[in-house]
């Protein structure tokens, strides 16, 4: 079978709803994914950092992914996170994603051992690619040193891209360091390597540098306006539109991000169960929640079409 | 059923042998565990940091643990590491360990998300204890901030110990900060909380402060002399014996620790396959290996009874 068309535009690292007992809530998850796709997201990077993915087992993630596809969401819009600290877990979930026809996978480096070598990381990604052994695989590297502590260097990208062209498809750069994102665009975009900013704050800059979009936390609550920047980036309006989404981002990131996204969905969707985070994360305090919602409302933020 | 007797003395975080294809090598694993127990180890902290445990899936670890018990190794000497970044994984492996009759489990905090609150970590450990729901559980907290980046504070220990006395059984302190280990002994030893140093460098100090032993990487290759410090810590010889094991430790830790342990076992056991590390870790370079072995031999280091 052929590879699916590459996703461009805005992807949301979909937050995962949990029930009172911390079990993943499949019904709310499917509903939120549907809302995102009709509200501006080109793709769903389920099982990202903002999804609390690393607080879930492979079996839990497989079940959620299968539920999405069973519910009729298009696999061609899915880019699940499949990188784990355990090589065998990364292989298992990547294989499952490819079999389901997902457009790609977004892979963290193994993140427990620190100070590891590029050679060790190369072997990790190479083993996954070889073991999955499927030409449909499109692997996006996930660079997020502030959380993973283990990063993906330009040298490592070069080596992987040379060995696996077509399979190594791009990167999400969540370093927060624009000079790094720009270097990725400059060095690899012409080799068919799709660069996504890890925050919409860098969306316009990334597109102007030859990147393909962004995969951003706030895509969970503000997908329409972010998509508008993507669709209008060559127009005279672009900088004004960018300033608007940056302003919203800055409100949300005053609070712990994942809990803030969930509190926003809970509030604007009138569905308090959404607030639950799985340990070790916790929900916002009442004061944090009040500050967030007050400021969002004052900015005339809305989530059109969201309902419980 | 009753709890098993608490382990005291020297525990080894057993290195995990891998085959050429990076699959866990059960036969070599069982053999090495047997050698450790007859060579001075009071217990086996399988699936620790030095075991490359976080590079293995829960299923792989369960299979290795069951193989040990099937091979006749006493579960009362086993303290498997069962802490994962995913809550559901921690519950699964802890439950399996308790069912097999293991003396205890050594639990990392969830280590992907950084800067998490004590409340979130409390919920994580509390959920595991409640879900496992077995009075036989003896849970040792694993504090290793240099690697996990997420630590276990004295306040968190106090809270867990107050809520789950008898179940929260102790700690391995791999902070490398003696003042922290001492504080753990001073504040919690009298409450039935067993403190283990994370390196034999602190063994004598830990025992003198009221701790119970050490769980140490080099326990994999030097268990006899380390155990000798434990057995003689109240004697006039103690400081001299401690100086000897500290000297050996200093030779080994000049190289990347896990690869160095494996290279030592490969050399002194005449079994080169032992050198293999699972990605993202890599074996020593030829030069590193030569330096290590030369210096160990010059110090008259040996591994009596080791054979392939």
Distances (CA, A) of A291 to A204, A248, A288, B303: 28, 14, 5, 63
Q: Which two tokens stand for residue A292?
A: 């967030």
pLDDT digits (tens, 9 = 90+) for A41-100: 999 999 999 999 999 999 999 999 999 999 999 999 999 999 999 999 999 999 999 999
Residue of A nearest to B21 (CA): A127
Q: Calculate how close chain A gets to B168, using CA atoms only, in Å.
A: 18
B215 to B80, B173, B194: CA distances (angstroms): 12, 9, 12
Closest by CA position to B280, among listed A127, A120, A117, A84: A120
What does the pLDDT read at residue A256?
A: 98
Give chain A's largest Cα–Cα span.
52
In this predicted structure, what is the pLDDT of residue B5? 93
Tens-binned pLDDT, residue by residue, of chain B (308 aa): 678 899 999 999 999 999 999 999 999 999 999 999 999 999 999 999 999 999 999 999 999 999 999 999 999 999 999 999 999 999 999 999 999 999 999 999 999 999 999 999 999 999 999 999 999 999 999 999 999 999 999 999 999 999 999 999 999 999 999 999 999 999 999 999 999 999 999 999 999 999 999 999 999 999 999 999 999 999 999 999 999 999 999 999 999 999 999 999 999 999 999 999 999 999 999 999 999 999 999 999 999 999 75
A279/B88 CB distance under 8 A = no
Report whether B107 contacts B143 (CB < 8 A).
no
Task: Supply φ then ψ for residue A38, to 5 degrees.
Answer: -90, -5
CB A248 within 8 A of CB A240: no
Q: What does the DSSP assignment read for A103-116?
A: S-EEEPPP-SS-S-
Partners of residue B48 on adjacent β-strands: none
Structure confidence at residue A2 (pLDDT): 77
Numbered residues of chain A with Cβ closer than 8 Å to any chain B Cβ: 22, 49, 52, 54-60, 85-89, 92, 109-114, 116-117, 119-121, 123-124, 127, 146-150, 277-282
Q: What is the pLDDT of residue A142?
A: 98
Q: What is the mean pLDDT of each run of 10 residues along chain A (308 residues)?
A: 89 98 98 98 98 98 98 98 98 98 98 98 98 98 97 98 97 98 98 98 98 98 98 98 98 98 98 98 98 97 88
Sign of CA dihedral B45, B51, B57, B60: negative
Alpha carbon of A165: minimum distance to chain B alpha carbons (Å): 22
Q: Determine the pLDDT at residue B2.
A: 77
Q: Is residue B194 helix, strand or coil?
A: strand
Q: Given A86, A114, A279, which is nearest B57 (Cβ)?
A: A86
Residues 6+ apart with CB under 8 A from B299: B247, B248, B251
Does this model's pTM top 0.80? yes
**B126-152 tens-digit pLDDT:** 999 999 999 999 999 999 999 999 999
């Amino acid at each position: 079978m052929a590879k699916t068309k590459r996703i461009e535009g805005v992807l949301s690292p979909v937050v995962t709803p949990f029930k009172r007992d911390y079990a993943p809530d499949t019904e709310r998850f499917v509903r939120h994914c549907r809302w995102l796709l009709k509200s501006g997201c080109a793709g769903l990077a389920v099982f990202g950092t903002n999804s609390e993915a690393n607080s879930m087992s492979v079996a839990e993630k497989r079940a959620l992914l299968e539920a999405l596809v069973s519910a009729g969401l298009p696999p061609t819009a899915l880019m699940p996170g499949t990188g784990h600290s355990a090589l065998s877990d990364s292989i298992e979930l990547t294989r499952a994603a490819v079999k389901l026809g997902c457009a790609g996978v977004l892979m963290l480096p193994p993140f427990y051992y620190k100070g590891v070598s590029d050679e060790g990381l190369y072997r990790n990604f190479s083993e996954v690619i070889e073991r999955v052994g499927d030409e449909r695989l499109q692997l996006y590297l996930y660079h997020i040193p502030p959380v993973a502590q283990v990063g993906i260097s330009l040298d490592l990208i070069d080596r992987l891209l040379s060995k696996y062209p077509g399979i190594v498809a791009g990167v999400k750069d969540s370093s927060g360091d624009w000079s790094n994102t720009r270097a990725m665009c400059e060095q690899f975009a012409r080799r068919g390597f799709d660069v996504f900013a890890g925050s919409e704050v860098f969306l316009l800059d990334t597109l102007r540098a030859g990147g393909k979009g962004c995969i951003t936390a706030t895509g969970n609550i503000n997908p329409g306006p972010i998509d508008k920047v993507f669709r209008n980036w060559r127009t005279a309006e672009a900088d004004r539109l960018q300033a608007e989404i940056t302003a919203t981002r800055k409100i949300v990131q005053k609070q712990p991000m994942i809990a803030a996204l969930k509190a926003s969905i809970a509030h604007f969707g009138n569905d308090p169960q959404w607030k639950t985070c799985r340990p070790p994360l916790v929900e916002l305090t009442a004061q944090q929640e009040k500050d967030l919602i007050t400021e969002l409302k004052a900015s005339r933020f809305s989530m059109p079409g969201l309902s419980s």
